[in-house]
Amino acid sequence: MQVTPNGASRLLRCGQSDRCRECGNRIEWYHRSDRRPVRLHPHELPTAQVPVAWRWHVSSGVANPAGDGSSWCRLPHAAVCPARDTPPPLPELAGLRRSLAVRSRRLIDTGTFTPAPASPDSPPSRPAVCRPARPIVQLLYVRYLAARPVDEILCVAQTRRRHRCTSPLLTSDAPAGTWKLMPTTAADGQLALPADVMAVYDLSRLPYAEQLRWRAQRCPQHATTPTAADLAVADFELFDPIRHHTHIHTRLPAPARRPGPAGRARQAARP
């Protein structure tokens, strides 16, 4: 078992329970040997029911993309996620996917789960706003890929009622980062991609303590409370321009513009 060295709660880094943001079903987070996270189905399945390319096993708290020779194996959640369009090839997995779909519908009907829209429609009277769903963040001289938009990254600390804190990292009373266009290069010395620049939310000019707060994913209140437990793993993943090329944006996010004097006059004249 691997334990987070910087977490006050000694949060286990493997087998952490969570829910899929797309379908609401239970998943378990594990780390691979290269420290990359992977979402696995919470239960083992017979090896004969899982294709060879989808077999995983967990050894010493590390997920490995292969079978271990036993009659049971783990399965990535993406292979049976009912929110995905591609159905599994085997009928056994198709039945599991149908049962997960029924559970997702039950969670939605009872109001327990609200699926995240894949591509929300913008109002026809407003232009589309460039807002990366998974932004690239630079802090402590390292680039990370966030799991959600900057203003939606929540604190991972535990409150006094033993619930996860719902405060965002980006608050009005704390210094914020700056969106910049930076060269599309990797920290490992890889060559640049065809896109010369990419949009990065730069936090490197913030004080060192603020960058540590963002890396630990804690709100300003829990950043000064080291004894508060961690209830989730930080949403930051080391950025790689080859693997994460679909998340590279070549222009800065476009915030909604405020109407000028003429626009405000027209709005005031409307009934």
Instruction: Answer whether residue 232 shows pLDDT above 90.
Output: no
Percentage of residues in the chain with pLDDT exceeding 70?
A: 78
* 96 and 154 housed in the same domain: no
* 21 and 88 housed in the same domain: yes
* 175 and 223 housed in the same domain: yes
CB distance 61 to 13 below 8 Å? yes
Q: Is residue 205 a part of any domain in this protein? A: yes
Query: What pLDDT digit, counting tens, does each position of 156-190 carry?
Result: 888 888 888 889 999 888 889 999 998 886 544 55
- State the pTM of this model: 0.58
CB distance 235 to 216 below 8 Å? no
* 87 and 48 housed in the same domain: yes
Give me the pLDDT at residue 211, please.
94
* 105 and 142 housed in the same domain: no
Q: Is residue 30 a part of any domain in this protein? A: yes
Instruction: Answer whether residue 214 shows pLDDT above 90.
Output: yes
* 98 and 161 housed in the same domain: no
Domain final residue pick, 74, 109, 144: 109
| Residue 34's pLDDT band (cuts 50, 70, 90) | confident
Average pLDDT over residues 2-11: 50
Q: Is residue 91 a part of any domain in this protein? A: yes
Q: Which residues contact 123 (CB under 8 A, 6 or more apart)?
A: none
Give me the pLDDT at residue 137, please.
95
Least confident of 29-38, 105-114, 253-262: 253-262
CB distance 80 to 42 below 8 Å? no
State how far the alpha carbon of 160 is from the alpha carbons of 56, 163, 184, 222, 225, in Å. Answer: 37, 7, 42, 11, 12
* 105 and 153 housed in the same domain: no
Q: Is residue 239 a part of any domain in this protein? A: yes
Give me the pLDDT at residue 206, please.
94
Q: Is residue 253 a part of any domain in this protein? A: no
Average pLDDT over residues 14-21: 74
Average pLDDT over residues 124-151: 78
Give every strand in the sheet of 142-145, ordered side by side.
178-183, 197-202, 136-139, 142-145, 237-238
* 176 and 97 housed in the same domain: no
Phi, psi dihedrals of residue 258, rounded to the nearest 5°: -80, 140
* 100 and 159 housed in the same domain: no
Q: Is residue 148 a part of any domain in this protein? A: yes
Strands 178-183 and 142-145: unpaired
List the domain range (segments joined by +) for residue 31. 16-109
Domain final residue pick, 94, 109, 124: 109
Q: Is residue 233 a part of any domain in this protein? A: yes
* 162 and 198 housed in the same domain: yes
Distance of alpha carbon 168 from alpha carbon 153, whole angstroms: 6
Instruction: Answer whether residue 74 shows pLDDT above 90.
Output: yes
